[in-house]
């Protein structure tokens, strides 16, 4: 891992919610930017109308994008997450997917509730930033 995740004393524990407060990346580290991925199969079509299924497929797709650069989830330092019609019930599947991939050291993450994404069937999208040592 080419970065350091820190959750400072004096701030709440964000890990159960699927994110960390801060990350540092050393000078000279290459950043890999991954465009917004959504719950699509290889043909670009959304794999399910279900929110949880789209979350799982989205993170699968991020894994494929990372692997194309010889990286894994442990290289991710930040996520920007977009949720259509966000409410508290949608936090569970997102936190579970993040916990499954990052455990107790999730990347930083900002979750943004939006009215819509690229097409009406897309309910969830994630951009990622990874650090290659």
Q: What is the mean pLDDT of residues 53-77?
A: 98
Domains, the chain, ordered by start? 27-132 (3.30.1330.40)
How far apart are alpha carbons 57 and 71 in whole angstroms? 18
- Dist. CA 91–CA 72, nearest whole Å: 23
User: Mean pLDDT across the stretch 45-54?
Assistant: 98
pLDDT of residue 94 exceeding 80 = yes
Per-residue pLDDT, averaged over 34-63, amounts to 98
| Distance from C-alpha of 91 to C-alpha of 58, rounded to nearest angstrom | 15
Provide mean pLDDT across the span 26-49.
Answer: 96
Confidence of residue 64 (pLDDT cuts 50, 70, 90): very high
What is the separation of C-alpha 107 from the centre of its chain, rounded to a whole number of angstroms?
A: 8
**Residue 1: what pLDDT?**
62
* Residue of 30, 53, 35 lying closest to 124 (CA atoms): 53
pTM for this model (two decimals): 0.93
């Amino acid at each position: 891992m080419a970065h350091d995740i820190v959750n400072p004393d004096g701030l709440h524990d964000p890990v159960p919610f699927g994110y960390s407060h801060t990350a540092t990346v050393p000078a000279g580290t290459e950043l890999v930017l991954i465009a917004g991925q959504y719950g699509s199969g290889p043909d670009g079509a959304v794999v399910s109308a279900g929110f949880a299924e789209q979350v799982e497929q989205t993170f699968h797709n991020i894994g494929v994008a990372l692997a194309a650069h010889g990286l894994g989830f442990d290289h991710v330092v930040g996520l920007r997450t977009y949720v259509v019609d966000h409410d508290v019930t949608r936090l569970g599947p997102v936190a579970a997917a993040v916990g499954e991939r990052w455990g107790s050291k999730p990347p930083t993450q900002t979750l943004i509730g939006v009215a819509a994404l690229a097409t009406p069937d897309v309910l969830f999208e994630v951009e990622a930033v990874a650090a290659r040592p």
